[in-house]
Amino acid sequence: MDIDYQWVSEGAVLAVMNEQALEVAAKGALALYLRLMKLELPEITEIVPGAGSVLIFVRHDLSDSGHFISRLRSFGPIEPVISGEKCRHHEIPVAYGGESGPDFDDVARQCRLSCDELVRLHSSVTYTVAFLGFSPGFPYMVGLPSLLQLPRLSKPRTSVPGGSIAIAGPFSGIYPQITPGGWRLLGRTEVSLFSPTSSPPALFAPGDSVRFVPV
Amino acid sequence: MKCWMNVLRPGALSSIQDLGREGFRSSGVPLSGAMDIWAARAANLLVENEPTAAVIEFTLSGPTISFNDDTVVAFTGSRFQVTGPRAIPWNRSVYVRASEILSLDFTAQGARGFLAVRGGFDVPMVLGSRSTYLRGGWGGFCGRALKAGDAVPIHDVGPIVFRERRLRDGLFPRHRNNVCLRVLPGPQWGDFTSQSQETFLATEYQVSTDCDRMGIRLQGPLLKHVTQPDIWPEGIVTGAIQVPANGQPIILCSDQPVTGGYTKIATVVGADLSYLAYLKPGDKIRFSPCCLADAGMAWLKREQDLREGVI
């Protein structure tokens, strides 16, 4: 897919995937992110992937902004990927439903699934971490079966427990710590997703693959 | 000898900040850092620290402090009322004796000020920075705002030699309660109706009471989207101006999440970000369009001014 580049500030370029399907765009953004990380261009200080875009922070003393954009454009179109060389696979144990998943029954009802079918469907796929955002360590994963793609809650919760496995739109995610949140909560995991004193601090990185394992 | 700063009264919100936590945004870790990096760096230059040394950022009402040993400090940013016997000049190096009490009260000017001490505050580096991430409760001093009774360690740099340093007059313009911020369009400028684009550049917005280190909510005429306010989540820069469904702009600041799913009509240029540190409820803001080249030049000019600004 083609990529549109635009300066969003004098210190950052936003690369937007020219693609209508979110999952495909996310995998294109992931591909660009992995490629730029590997190239280690000296002008680039930080790279932040998004659902269909990559935000590229550059040094403020970049002498020729036009030249930099030309260089990015010269890389040409990008092919979507689901993984990269240094990406890891994670198996995440999940306690589905009950108190661990306060929206589980409602999701099952809306999707016309039995509880067993919902657990099986959500845990049957291998997800790809497209990017992290919202709060430290929070993974936005693509691969959620289309049957389970429901909108966010109309009324977000003021407090979502850490470890909550959640879905909203095309994404599955996990809340690393207690925050407000509007996603639908299916279950909970004990796995720690983020610790500021660990190296690296986040369990997940863009391009990692994830399977949920019912316990 | 170990040095520390005693907090007798913390003020409304005083926290340890440096120039921010770069390099971990792709893990979802916000930049944090001083809301005015120029004032933080200037304070450090005045006390002969590295520009990256940790400072105190204080808000709306300032702290009352003392030090256990003689030291040199500097206050920058907006001027706060000084109470107590010791006068505190702003924008210059100040010699402080052991146990002398420095007492700040409220500010009649902008919302924030900065305090640097010779050696810099000695709190653990977390993910390459000493900035406090208040929302997450880590970094800085115990991951929180300062409280009465805190003893904040300071790097020991040996015997104190006092050298008079001050900032050039006019290096930091006096805070006004109406400011004009230069902006670059977008990234979702085109998602707004042409009438709303005009409205955005013509309106004098008012800062609401809902303003903090994450964002500054503005009040003004509603801005309308061509289709809808939601976008696929994408990375955000500090100074981006988000407009959710309610049509009221929010200027995103240091502690904002690294990605967001609402349209952004414009972005405040880097050279004007420091004004965000001083805005208070009721202040007025206008936005004026700027081109990329001018934004780049403005940033370089501020860098040059700071280099030449300490005498």
% of chain B with per-residue pLDDT over 70: 100
Binary contact (A46, B26; C-beta < 8 A): yes
Q: Which of B56, B41, B53, B74 is nearest to B163 (CA)?
A: B74
Q: How far is A79 from chain B (nearest CA, A)?
A: 19
Structure tokens at A153: 């809650």
Cβ of residue B239 closer than 8 Å to a chain A Cβ:
yes
Q: How far is B254 from chain A (nearest CA, A)?
A: 14
**Secondary structure (DSSP) of A16-29:** EE--SSHHHHHHHH
The reported pLDDT for the residue numbered A179 is 93
Interface of B with A in 121-140 (CB under 8 A): 126-127, 133, 135-136, 138-139
Query: What are the pLDDT tens digits along chain B (311 aa)?
Result: 789 999 999 999 999 999 999 999 999 999 999 999 999 999 999 999 999 999 999 999 999 999 999 999 999 999 999 997 899 999 999 999 999 999 999 998 999 999 999 999 999 999 999 999 999 999 999 999 999 999 999 999 999 999 999 999 989 877 889 999 999 998 999 999 999 999 999 999 999 999 999 999 999 999 999 999 999 999 999 999 999 999 999 999 999 999 999 999 999 999 999 999 999 999 999 999 999 999 999 999 999 999 999 99
- Model confidence pLDDT, tens digit, residues A56-71: 999 987 767 788 999 9
- Model confidence pLDDT, tens digit, residues A104-122: 999 999 999 999 999 999 9
Q: How far is A39 from chain B (nearest CA, A)?
A: 16
The reported pLDDT for the residue numbered B173 is 77
The reported pLDDT for the residue numbered A63 is 64
The reported pLDDT for the residue numbered B170 is 87
Question: B237 with A11: CB under 8 angstroms?
Answer: yes
pTM, full prediction: 0.96
**Cα separation, B60 vs B65, whole angstroms:** 16
Cβ of residue B184 closer than 8 Å to a chain A Cβ:
yes
Question: A91 with A213: CB under 8 angstroms?
Answer: yes
Interface A-B: count of C-beta contacts within 8 A: 139
Binary contact (B233, A50; C-beta < 8 A): yes
Backbone φ and ψ for B199, nearest 5 degrees, come out as -60, -45
Structure tokens at A135: 């709060």
Question: B259 with A131: CB under 8 angstroms?
Answer: yes
**Cα separation, B225 vs B223, whole angstroms:** 7
The reported pLDDT for the residue numbered B28 is 98
Burial A163-179 (b: 16+ CB within 10 A, else e): bbbbbbbbbbbbbbbeb
The reported pLDDT for the residue numbered A86 is 84
- Model confidence pLDDT, tens digit, residues B106-153: 998 999 999 999 999 999 999 999 999 999 999 999 999 999 999 999
Binary contact (A49, B26; C-beta < 8 A): yes
Residues in chain A with pLDDT values less than 50: none
Helix (H) or strand (E) holding B302: helix B292-307
